[in-house]
Structure 1
């Protein structure tokens, strides 16, 4: 199972990013764990300065803006 973390303060872009990941996993029939991280110390601990950030299995794969749908599908399937 893949583990995703969406890093951000709970802004609209963070919510959209989390929804994109959930929807892509559902469409692909892949089970994931999705956590939303709003703690700034933890966000900065990942080295993310611009949110939303996405961490996949402990590695930052995106930061600063909503990721594209194709990119999200690739994370879920890859």
Structure 2
């Protein structure tokens, strides 16, 4: 599984990355987790609000996501 957190480095983006990392570790998910802060690359995902969560190339969540919401999105 490839997971990306899209964001410009703001506090909300950093918090989402930390929550996703926590969930991945807690659930023992085999995944590559990365941050994407390049606006040109972020625009390619056609998202208008940040942060955004991308799983295997598909945007699955936008904005502030709780730990429970992240668990649901990553275990679908």
Count matched residues.
76
C-alpha distance after superposition, 1:13-61 (max 9, x if no partner): 0111011111011111112111100111111110011100111011001
* Alpha-carbon distance in 2 for matches of 1:38, 1:72: 20
How far apart, CA to CA, are the structure 1 residues paired with 2:59 and 2:37?
Answer: 15
Cα separation, 1, equivalents of 2:9 and 2:56: 21
Give the RMSD, CA atoms, in angstroms: 1.0
Gaps of 5+ in 2: none
Partner of residue 10, structure 2: 11
Normalised by the length of structure 1, the TM-score is: 0.89
2:42 aligned counterpart, secondary structure: helix
Q: Is the 8 A contact 1:28 1:77 kept in 2?
A: no
Gaps of at least 5 residues in structure 1 are none
Instruction: Report what 1:71 is aligned to.
Output: 69
